[in-house]
């Protein structure tokens, strides 16, 4: 039986919930480790900066570490805000006492603004904590302070990493958010540098440093190698920045829970689409609505950004001896055609996340009108050059109607079969509508 790793964060609080212990615990939970904490300082903080801080007495920090380490199997720990020399010394003693593998995030300033460490504390961190750590994760400003080397480019970052390692840290990761977005991993044992490329992501960065080091600790606790953990942690924090939450007037906090919510959404989309497939294949008379090129149904994730975020049947529906059969399974990225319909519609209404294409005929359109479904269309002959038909056609039909209608159709063109598309909020919604159309046609 696999045990859930238990990890510890030794850091300060953020009353705004974006950084410090708040960020660490959310990251731990999202990556599947149990998080514990020892609070070093209570800050009055929001998205605009640190307004004040109350440092806890060192014995209180020690008591918290003792409490969790004497009861739980903790092997990995990360440190964040260590505001005073006395607190750092107390933490160093307990790292040795419990033989913990330590990831040091040398927090010197808040992302939103405000100093979090004194100069005296920085010196004690250099002398007492770095020789005990497994990895230290400074950004370029912090690496410059720890190494006394100004950092202007990647070579400077490498020199700084080597200088920091000579103070006792076997592995140094200089994170590149303040430089060129690449992270520099230096493993002193083999004198190896690994560059992990990245990109500057649009979004809030409040809590990004805490989130990165917490993610790194969690992946290490799961048994991944240093470089693997660094790659996964970078990917995690980039996604968290991209989906940051604009909750205040200052720097938006990163979204650590995206990892969980996105996986949950993927399951819900797959489940909904599979149920829709079962509904369609369960009604034999739906076969009369399957076009010659086949039929597909698809549903997108919330805020989908591409075809890879849209689930559909990998081989479409076909008509076989008067019955509906689906050729393939439901998976993401399976349909370019129907996915483009949905992605175009979502530009106008983010709640319209599903579509199914059915056979075109005037009779079917008449049924749609009798069912009081809203309808719009486009003419392939009007399509500009160098455009995608679905992108242009769906956009044109929506603009003509003034909002996203229930039905978008076209009468075809040279070598192009005419088609009707049913749109809705979920795969089940559009499946129900399509089945109603089929039943109406069957009963007529």
Please check whether residues 292 and 240 belong to one and the same domain. Answer: no
Question: Considering the entire predicted model, what is its pTM?
Answer: 0.77
Domain assignment of residue 334, given as a range: 262-443
Residue 300, in any domain of the structure: yes
d(C-alpha 35, C-alpha 66), whole Å: 15
Domain count, the chain: 2
pLDDT tens for residues 403-423? 999 999 999 888 889 999 999
Residue 114 has pLDDT above 60, yes or no: no
Reported as a pLDDT band with limits 50, 70 and 90, residue 390 is confident
* pLDDT, mean of residues 313-334: 84
Please check whether residues 332 and 231 belong to one and the same domain. Answer: no
Question: Are 47 and 247 in contact, with CB atoms under 8 Å apart?
Answer: yes
d(C-alpha 333, C-alpha 300), whole Å: 10
Give the CATH number of the domain where residue 133 resides: 3.40.1190.20
Which pLDDT score, from 0 to 100, does residue 80 have? Answer: 95
pLDDT tens for residues 130-189? 999 999 999 999 999 999 999 998 999 999 999 999 999 999 999 976 678 899 999 999
Please check whether residues 209 and 288 belong to one and the same domain. Answer: no
Q: Angle between the 208-221 and 226-242 helix axes, to the nearest 10 degrees?
A: 140
Comparing 210-214, 290-294, 317-321, 426-430, which segment has the lowest mean pLDDT? 317-321
Residue 1 has pLDDT above 50, yes or no: no
Please check whether residues 228 and 366 belong to one and the same domain. Answer: no
Reported as a pLDDT band with limits 50, 70 and 90, residue 283 is confident
Give the CATH number of the domain where residue 426 resides: 3.40.225.10
């Amino acid at each position: 039986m696999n045990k859930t790793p238990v990890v510890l964060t030794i850091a300060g609080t953020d009353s705004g919930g974006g950084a410090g212990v708040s960020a660490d615990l959310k990251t731990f939970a999202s990556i599947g480790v149990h998080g514990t904490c020892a609070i070093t300082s209570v800050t009055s903080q929001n998205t605009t900066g640190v307004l004040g801080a109350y440092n806890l007495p060192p014995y209180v920090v020690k008591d918290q570490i003792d409490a969790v380490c004497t009861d739980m199997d903790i092997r990995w720990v990360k440190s964040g805000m260590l505001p005073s020399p006395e607190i750092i010394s107390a933490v160093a003693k307990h790292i040795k006492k419990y033989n913990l593998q330590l990831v040091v995030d040398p927090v010197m300033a808040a992302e939103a603004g405000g100093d979090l460490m004194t100069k005296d504390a920085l010196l004690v961190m250099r002398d007492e904590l770095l020789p005990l750590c497994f990895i230290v994760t400074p950004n370029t400003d912090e690496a410059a302070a720890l190494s006394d080397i100004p950092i202007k480019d990647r070579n400077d970052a490498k020199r700084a990493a080597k200088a920091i390692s000579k103070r006792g840290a076997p592995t140094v990761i200089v994170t590149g958010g303040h430089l060129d977005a690449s992270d520099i991993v230096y493993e002193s044992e083999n004198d190896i540098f690994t560059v992990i490329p990245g990109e500057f992501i649009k979004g809030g960065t409040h809590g990004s440093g805490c989130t990165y080091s917490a993610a790194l600790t969690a992946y290490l606790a799961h048994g991944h190698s240093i470089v693997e953990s660094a790659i996964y942690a970078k990917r995690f924090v980039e996604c968290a920045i991209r989906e940051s939450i604009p909750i205040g007037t200052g720097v938006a906090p990163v979204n650590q829970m995206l990892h969980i919510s996105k996986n949950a959404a993927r399951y819900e989309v797959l489940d909904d689409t599979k149920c829709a497939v079962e509904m369609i294949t369960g009604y034999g008379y739906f076969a009369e609505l399957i076009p010659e090129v086949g039929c597909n149904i698809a549903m997108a994730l919330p805020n989908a950004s591409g075809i890879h975020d849209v689930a559909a049947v990998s081989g479409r529906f076909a008509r076989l001896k008067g019955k509906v059969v689906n050729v393939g399974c439901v998976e993401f990225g399976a349909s370019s055609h129907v996915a483009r319909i949905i992605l175009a519609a979502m530009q106008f209404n983010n709640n319209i996340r599903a579509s199914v294409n059915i056979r075109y005929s005037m009779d079917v359109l008449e049924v749609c009108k009798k069912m009081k479904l809203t309808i719009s269309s486009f003419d392939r002959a009007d399509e500009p050059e160098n455009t995608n038909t679905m992108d242009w056609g769906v956009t044109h039909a929506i603009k003509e109607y003034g909002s996203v209608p229930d039905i978008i159709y076209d009468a075809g063109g040279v070598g192009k079969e005419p088609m009707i598309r049913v749109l809705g909020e979920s795969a089940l919604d559009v499946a129900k509508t399509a089945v109603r159309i089929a039943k109406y046609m069957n009963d007529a």
